[in-house]
Amino acid sequence: MHVLVTGAAGFLGSHLTDRLLGEGHTVLGVDNLSTGSMENIAHLAGESRFRFEQRDICKPFDPGPVDYVFNMASPASPPEYLRLAIETLRVGSAGTENTLEIAAKYGAGHLHASTSECYGDPLQHPQTEDYWGNVNPVGPRSVYDEAKRYAEALVMAYHRSRKVNTHLVRIFNTYGPRLHPSDGRVISNFMMQALLGKPLTVYGSGDQTRSFCYVSDLIEGILRLSRSNEHMPVNIGNPDEFTILECAQAVLKATGSSSELRFEPLPEDDPTRRRPDITRARTLLGWEPRVALKEGLALSLEFFKTKAAATV
Ligand code: UDP
């Protein structure tokens, strides 16, 4: 297959590109590098089946015939999408529409990277795909949440009206090597702080929960979904749920650090809990996460150690 990956220089886009190349496909990766980094794809420099174009997908473009489009482009960490508020809304709307036009033009499959943020601060726990969510449409996080919700509506409209073979993955918190060390997410912050001997910044009381999926599990789920006949959203995430305090302890253990915890204010509209119900993924895709948090942190340690060494 000839595959277009948007956001190819990002955390998930680069891992997905590696998997696709490993399976023998050719990949055109595009990224405007607003949050992605060439470092994530530097190892592909000599790979003849990979081509990279720096471009903003919000402007219409024609990559030529493609068999599949993976739309992974978007700022994704809270500090980054707050910094890039309007860009985040545009990539979810105009950018996503442009990728759907490409899929429609070439009869390609299309998978859109959606998010557990579609559920907002959920009143239903764990979250099933048929839960409509509890999203503040005008709060600071709305630039991300509503862009992703609009994108889901757009994808479904292209499926229903233009018969595009679309797929929607709702991605829950994911971590692993190439998670940007300074993009402000909890695992990257804690790993870097622990390795640099700095206090771990716990926002709020640390009682809020998240469920962390290791990147290889997530990519496997995405690929299975892309090859399925399912067009409605599918949660991909690890249902093992941790409080942020438990997460901090797990990072201290994995790094052998004796850093202290420092409590800081909770960001506005920070969801109090999050855990995927993965019955749909289990049933439809035969998918199951395999890597537990402890193991995934160990697998990520080398990456963060290198990053920490580069900052001192
Ligand atoms: N968080 C924290 N300390 C940090 C970064 C994040 O306590 O240094 C908390 C944050 O408030 C949230 C959770 O960890 O409750 C996950 O945050 P992240 O930004 O990784 O992703 P989110 O799930 O909020 O999109």
Ligand 1 neighbours, Cβ below 6 Å, are: 77-78, 173, 184-186, 189, 201-203, 208, 210, 244, 266-267, 270
Whole-number Å distance, alpha carbon 185 to ligand 1 midpoint, is 6
Over the stretch 223-233, which tens digit does the pLDDT of each residue have? 999 999 999 99
Over the stretch 174-185, which tens digit does the pLDDT of each residue have? 999 999 999 999
pLDDT of residue 92: 98
Does 312 score more than 90 pLDDT? no
Domains of the chain, with CATH numbers?
2-172+215-236 (3.40.50.720), 175-210+240-276+291-311 (3.90.25.10)
- Most informative mutation of 210, 241, 262, 269 for ligand 1 (most atoms within 8 A of CB): 210
Does 256 score more than 80 pLDDT? yes
Q: What is the pTM of this model?
A: 0.97
The residue from 106, 144, 158, 214 that is catalytic is 144
CA-based nearest residue to 170, from 199, 148, 185: 148
Is residue 190 a contact partner of residue 264, using CB atoms and an 8 Å limit? no
Tell me, yes or no, if 158 is annotated catalytic.
Answer: no
Region 108-134: mean pLDDT is 97
Whole-number Å distance, alpha carbon 298 to ligand 1 midpoint, is 20
Whole-number Å distance, alpha carbon 109 to ligand 1 midpoint, is 33
**Mutual angle of helices 244-255 and 186-195, in 10-degree steps:** 40
Residue having the nearest C-alpha atom to atom 21 of ligand 1: 185
